[in-house]
A = this chain, B = another copy of it.
Amino acid sequence: MERRRSRPRIADVAREAGVSKTAVSFAFNSPERLAAETAVRIREVAGALGYRPNPVARQLRQRRTMTLGVLTPQALGVMFSNPFFALFSEGVAQAAEEVGYGLHFISPLHGSLALALGRSTVDGVVAIGLSADHPEVEQVRGAGLPMVLVDSDDLPGHSSIVVDDEAGARAAAVHVIDQGHREVLVIAVEGPAPAGGDGVGADAADGHESSPGEGVTARRLRGYRAAFAAAGLELPAERVVAGRASIEGGASAFQRAWALGRRPTAVLAMSDAMAIGAMRTAREVGLRIPDDLSVVGFDDIDLAAHVDPPLTTVHQPIRQKGADAVRLLLAEVEQRADHRPRRLRLETRLTVRESTGPAPSARRSSPQSPQSPQSPPKARPTG
């Protein structure tokens, strides 16, 4: 005989307590509508039976889930490998918890974001780093869910939060240019790989080239370029490499550039994790930081001040971005009267630490022509 007792339902409690389902529901949700002793008795019976209201049924009837989603364009595994994301999540979580909302992370399911979003039971989503040229962005918008965009291009009808990426990037570039650096390598964040979506209702997503030219990356690149232009310099495309926003991504990006014969005296990385990875590779090929190579990051994660050497980086208020995103989202989810899409732009600022210094060529008074591609690692003078 099957001893596998299923969870008691509200009807079981009602029968056992000799009342209606309604009364049981009241006992939990609006006890003031029952005589005090009735409510107590019902709760006792419920407790004895081990009854817990099924949250899915409640959500269905109430037509809300008290849950917010964090929509990520890449797998959570890769998102979490960037410390930035943990910090952002911290801000989101704190704000959501304050108002009693739960948190659901939504990442591509079988490669499709729209599919994942369709399956997820949330009242609204914070989309982080979803670029406007994402192949599924229209499907995502069409889901009809309240959504606020963080670090994305603006999309009509949605609130958004960005930081002043361009100004931050410009400040970073000005900093290294002022120190005499001319051979600069930019390490950019690449977009998610093209979705190989055979997903539901996907119309003609094939042939989509990964274009690392949109969103955050584009804005920061513009900032770097503005600084170079202002100094009468150029930043040709071959001085820009891209990779994943993680330590490994930065390490391999620098590695690739090095193998291609690039011999920068400064690196402008679009994330601290990448900057740290680049420093690791740089040391492996014999460079000292900042003597031989200056490195600037972006984000100012908590650990940026503690790495070796302490990282010069562009500070942005990451936690606050997450918290503000939730506030904006709630205004829409809860249909506040005065609600209408808003755009927030938060400030960035350069934080100079010890990973940057004067260009070696500036110290040695005369610049030197680029070395041949496959020269040995320690070719650069070590004084």
Contact = CB atoms under 8 A, between A and B. Distances in A.
A77 B94 contact: yes
Contacts of A201: 43, 47
- With a 10 A CB-CB cut-off, give which of A56, A110, A144, A305 has the most chain B CB atoms: A56
A161 to B, nearest CB: 18
A20 interface: no
A216 to B, nearest CB: 20
A381 interface: no
A102 B119 contact: yes
A80 B119 CA distance: 26
A25 interface: no
Interface stretch (A148-156, A176-184, A307-315, A360-368): A307-315
A224 interface: no
B247 A121 contact: no
A55 interface: yes
B80 A87 contact: yes
Contacts of A302: 81, 247
A86 B97 contact: no
A7 interface: yes
Contacts of A119: 55, 66, 102
Interface in A260-280: 276, 279-280
Contacts of A279: 306
Interface residues of A, number: 61
Contacts of A205: none
Interface string A276-293: 100110000000000000
Interface in A35-86: 43, 47, 50, 52-57, 59-60, 65-67, 75-77, 79-81, 83, 85-86
A90 interface: yes
A102 B102 contact: no
Contacts of A142: 50
A105 interface: yes
Contact of A121 (B110, B121, B308): B121
A250 B30 CA distance: 45
B76 A80 contact: no
Contacts of A85: 86
A122 to B, nearest CB: 9
A107 interface: yes
B52 A56 contact: no
A210 interface: no
A344 interface: no
Interface in A202-256: 247
B102 A103 contact: no
Interface string A296-327: 00000011011111100000000000000000
The 9 tightest CB contacts between A and B, nearest first, are A308-B308, A76-B93, A77-B94, A86-B86, A80-B90, A56-B60, A103-B105, A56-B59, A80-B86
18 contacts: A50-B142, A52-B143, A55-B120, A56-B56, A56-B121, A59-B121, A66-B119, A75-B97, A76-B103, A80-B90, A85-B86, A102-B105, A102-B120, A103-B104, A103-B107, A104-B105, A303-B303, A303-B307
Given A76-B97, A80-B89, A104-B104, 5 more contacts: A56-B65, A77-B94, A77-B97, A97-B109, A276-B306
